[in-house]
């Protein structure tokens, strides 16, 4: 499904006809949750950046527009074997993230740190994004305040100023990915040493650290819960290749568990998905890393298992919709616990429309597997919920129509085409 432009109609449907096993090789793209933050990092220094393996999705188009609003130029270079995103950042940028862009995707808040570091000020609209409950940015603000930033909120914008950021020791009360990223990008230009304790450990954080170090930063502890950043006076542009998208890879592996068959997820990093792969193995899937990515086989109906979302290296909250959809088709009863965000079971009613037996109570879902789901019209509430409904349709009798599929296009580059390449009957209508 090619990503629509930011002005395109949202009347997109994904139509799935179930009953076909999956077979073949499917390639995952670059990680959405890394690419957006790498794009934000380009604001830290003047120059030309070439970012390879960037997914061609709606959220990348939105972040491109946000960078353009600062005065940067963003374009695709199609001259090579694969497109490269080129960002030209001028000597002077406008440190403003306008409401009409920010309200469409939550990741936009990560421009706050680099704008403060580069310009000493920033005006960023309060973020929007997926509809699965509140995710306050208090930790972002408190952490940046430790570095000397001052904040005021008025008329829907965060007004931040920090003429002289100073290194400090910051203890995060929770290993927030976004707060860690904003602090990293501010600290690289702060005077002195910054230590972030209880930092997020996600692979996307390590990817950001790698680009920042290529730009001249001095970051130690990448991949650990303690990051030490020695501030530098100058940074420069750099080239980088985005890591593979573990959430996209998880989608296709869960699809295999639902539909059955044998696939290779090319480019997937098993070392970024160890806990999830173990969980699939417990459920009866044969799964292992190979030279091309991750190989997996599912020859029969899988068995249920209990799942809980936790910060990395635990099961990511983004995996949960796929696991709930998969458990809806397994043998037995599984309990899914959401420990990170409220409101992330809103898609369960849509799965129930397809015949799933799911009961929710607070942050728990009890999923009693059924032998077959039933095709039905359903609605995508957010990126991952929409993808979960698509893969649930693979196990349904008849036709499933997922409306508001523009949500899915925010995080997936041609999910319909990729699944068709494995033998599934999925089309964009």
State residue 126's pLDDT score. 81
Tell me phi and psi for residue 60, to 5 degrees: -70, -40
32-241: same fold as 14-29+244-428? yes
This prediction's pTM: 0.94
Alpha carbon of 249 to those of 169, 192, 210, 242: distances in Å? 36, 39, 22, 15
State residue 316's pLDDT score. 96
CB 49 within 8 A of CB 35: no
Tens-of-pLDDT digits for all 429 residues of the chain? 444 443 344 578 999 999 999 999 999 999 999 999 999 999 999 999 999 999 999 999 999 999 999 999 999 999 988 999 999 999 999 999 999 998 888 789 999 999 999 999 999 988 754 443 444 688 999 999 999 999 998 888 999 999 999 999 999 999 999 999 999 999 999 999 999 999 999 999 999 999 999 999 999 999 999 999 999 999 999 999 999 999 999 999 999 999 999 999 999 999 999 999 999 999 999 999 999 999 999 999 999 999 999 999 999 999 999 999 999 999 999 999 999 887 668 899 999 999 999 999 989 999 999 999 999 999 999 999 999 999 999 999 999 999 999 999 999 999 999 999 999 999 999
State residue 10's pLDDT score. 54
Tokens of 295: 């190989």
CA atoms within 13 A on the CB side of 248: 31
Tokens of 184: 């990293």
**Distance in angstroms (rounded) separating the CA atoms of residues 360 and 320:** 14
Instruction: For the domain covering 32-241, report its CATH number.
Output: 3.65.10.10
| CATH classification for the domain delimited by 14-29+244-428, as one of 3.65.10.10, 1.20.1440.130, 3.40.50.2300, 3.20.20.70 | 3.65.10.10
State residue 3's pLDDT score. 45
Domain ranges in the chain? 14-29+244-428, 32-241
**Distance in angstroms (rounded) separating the CA atoms of residues 338 and 365:** 8
Alpha carbon of 203 to those of 62, 84, 243, 271: distances in Å? 23, 21, 8, 9
CA atoms within 13 A on the CB side of 137: 26
CB 346 within 8 A of CB 321: no
Tokens of 33: 């949750």
Using alpha carbons only, what angle is made at residue 413 by residues 410 and 414, rounded to the nearest 5 degrees?
115
Q: Which residue has the tokens 């970012």?
A: 51
Residue 242 is classified by DSSP as P
State residue 278's pLDDT score. 98
Q: Residue 130 catalytic?
A: yes
State residue 340's pLDDT score. 87
**Distance in angstroms (rounded) separating the CA atoms of residues 148 and 139:** 14
State residue 136's pLDDT score. 67
**What is the CB neighbour count within 10 angstroms for residue 291?**
7
| Active-site choice (59, 65, 88, 130) | 130
Which of 413, 373, 425, 419 lies closest to 397 in space, CA to CA? 373
- Helix residue ranges per DSSP H, 85-202: 99-102, 112-119, 138-146, 177-187
């Amino acid at each position: 499904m090619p990503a629509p432009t930011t002005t395109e109609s949202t009347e997109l449907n994904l139509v799935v006809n179930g009953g076909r096993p999956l077979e073949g090789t499917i390639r995952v793209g670059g990680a959405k949750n890394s690419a957006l933050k790498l794009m934000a990092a380009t604001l830290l220094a003047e120059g030309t950046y070439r970012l390879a393996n960037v997914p061609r999705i709606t959220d990348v188009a939105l972040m491109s527009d946000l960078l353009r609003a600062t005065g940067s130029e963003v374009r695709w270079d199609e001259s090579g074997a694969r497109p490269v995103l080129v960002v030209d950042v001028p000597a002077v940028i406008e440190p403003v993230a306008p409401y009409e862009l920010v309200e469409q995707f939550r990741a936009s808040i990560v421009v706050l740190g680099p704008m403060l570091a580069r310009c000493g000020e920033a005006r960023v609209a309060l973020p929007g994004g997926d509809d699965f409950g509140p995710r306050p940015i208090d930790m972002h603000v408190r952490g940046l305040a430790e570095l000397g930033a001052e904040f005021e909120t008025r008329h829907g914008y965060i007004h931040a100023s920090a003429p002289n950021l100073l290194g400090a020791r910051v203890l995060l009360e929770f290993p927030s990915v976004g707060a860690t990223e904003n602090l990293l990008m501010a600290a690289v230009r702060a005077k002195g040493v910054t230590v972030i304790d209880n930092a997020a450990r996600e692979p996307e954080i390590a990817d950001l650290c790698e680009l920042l170090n290529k730009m001249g930063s001095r970051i130690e502890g990448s991949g650990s819960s303690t990051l030490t950043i020695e501030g530098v006076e100058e940074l420069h542009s750099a080239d980088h290749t985005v890591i593979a998208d573990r959430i996209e890879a998880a989608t296709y592996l869960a699809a295999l568990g639902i539909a059955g068959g044998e696939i290779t997820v090319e480019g997937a990093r098993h070392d970024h998905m160890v806990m999830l792969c173990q969980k699939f193995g417990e459920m009866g899937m044969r799964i292992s890393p190979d030279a091309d990515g991750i190989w997996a086989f599912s020859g029969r109906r899988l068995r249920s298992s209990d799942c809980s979302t936790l910060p990395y290296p635990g099961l990511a909250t983004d995996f949960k919709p796929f696991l709930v959809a998969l458990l809806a088709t397994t043998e037995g009863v599984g309990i899914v616990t959401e420990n990170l965000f409220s409101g992330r079971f809103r898609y369960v009613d849509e799965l129930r429309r397809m015949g799933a037996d799911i009961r929710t109570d607070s942050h728990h879902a009890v999923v009693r597997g059924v032998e077959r789901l039933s095709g039905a019209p359903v609605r995508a509430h957010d990126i991952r919920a929409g993808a979960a409904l698509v893969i649930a349709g693979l196990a349904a009798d008849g036709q499933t129509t997922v409306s508001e599929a523009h949500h899915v296009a925010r995080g997936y580059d041609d999910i319909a085409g990729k699944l068709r390449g494995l033998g599934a009957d999925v089309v964009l209508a």
